Amino acid sequence: MSVESDARQITLNYTGGSVQMSIGNAKDIFGADFTGLDPGSVEKSVSVKAHTRVRVIGGTAKQVSAYTYDYQQFPTSRASNAAAGTVILMAWDGSEGDFTGRVSGSMADAATFFQANVKKTLAFRTQRGTKYGPFPAN
């Protein structure tokens, strides 16, 4: 059994959350090549305090000095066996009715993401009826 590639789901991460929708809808909203959707990374620095470490239970303790390391943090989304996030209903120029997506994170962060990236004028609403947009095409 084959599944149309545009019917598969894609998750687009952004700062503060993620949106999940079909690939076909994402191509229509953001452009076929998803240009401009690279959220980039943020430089993070982690400081580890001095501590003792025991390699084998009952063995001797070794002193570990304090140290700091840096890494690049990219936006992530929450994983769940159940569908995570809030269902939204989206409509945009040229769409025939509402299409569903799923947002994790705040709706304000989702609105900021759509406002910065859509290639067609888009509006969305939550299942409770709160409306966001329209966000003009970029």
pLDDT tens-digit profile of 71-119?
A: 998 877 666 555 668 899 999 998 888 999 999 889 999 999 999 989 9
pLDDT tens-digit profile of 9-65?
A: 888 888 888 899 998 899 999 888 876 666 677 899 999 999 999 999 999 999 999
Contact 78, 84 (CB under 8 A): yes
| Domain edges within the chain | 5-40+76-135, 42-73
What is the dihedral angle through the alpha carbons of 122, 10, 24, 32, rounded to the nearest 10 degrees? 80
* pTM confidence score: 0.70
